[in-house]
Amino acid sequence: MRLIDCSPADADQILAILNDAILTSTALWDYVPRPPEAMTPWFAAKELGRFPVIGAVDDKGLLLGFGTYGPFRAWPAYKYSVEHSVYVHRDHRGRGIGRQLLGAVIERARAQQYHTLIAGIEASNAASKALHREFGFEPCGVVRHAGYKFGRWLDLEFHQLLFDGPREPVEG
């Protein structure tokens, strides 16, 4: 397995992983699978914001999982905070791929001089919470009943990792 920077050429494989998460898990709080045309603006937003899409691929180029980040909130004062996501294909979970992807996401966010990396995790996802603890994330709040999926209310836990950067933060 190796890590790559994904491009729009990887959109179909990314979409398959996302749509599986929509249909089978509480990792994504959508109800309906995304259509292929949704990937064009998704990649455009990543490129515009200089947000990486890091893929884990096998020796045949099959995407095993990916990690990325984007804005935490839309207002300017949040510019040093990003929220990340890591998704692993259902057939490749439990092999350390998520750990490698999260490590790469952290490395990129730190290198880009962000100050806070935030994870929004559904409260019953013990594996995700444990993984984030391994990397030093700390719980920082819970929004109870923030979503409703699969016939139940979902609590959203936020976890954060603080970096030393940026060297010289500015307003505006």
Boundaries of every domain in the chain:
2-162
Whether 135 shows a pLDDT value over 90: the answer reads yes
CA pair distance 172, 169, nearest whole angstrom = 10
Topology given in CATH for the domain delimited by 2-162: Aminopeptidase (3.40.630)
HSE (side-chain half, CA atoms, 13 Å) at 125: 19
Joined tokens for residue 29: 């709080």
CA pair distance 100, 134, nearest whole angstrom = 12
Burial of residue 148 (number of CB atoms within 10 Å: 0-12, 13-18, 19+): exposed
Whether 51 shows a pLDDT value over 90: the answer reads yes
CA pair distance 168, 131, nearest whole angstrom = 31
| Residue-level pLDDT at 24 | 97
| Residue-level pLDDT at 172 | 83
Q: Tell me: the pLDDT tens digits for 28-38? A: 999 999 999 99
| Residue-level pLDDT at 104 | 98
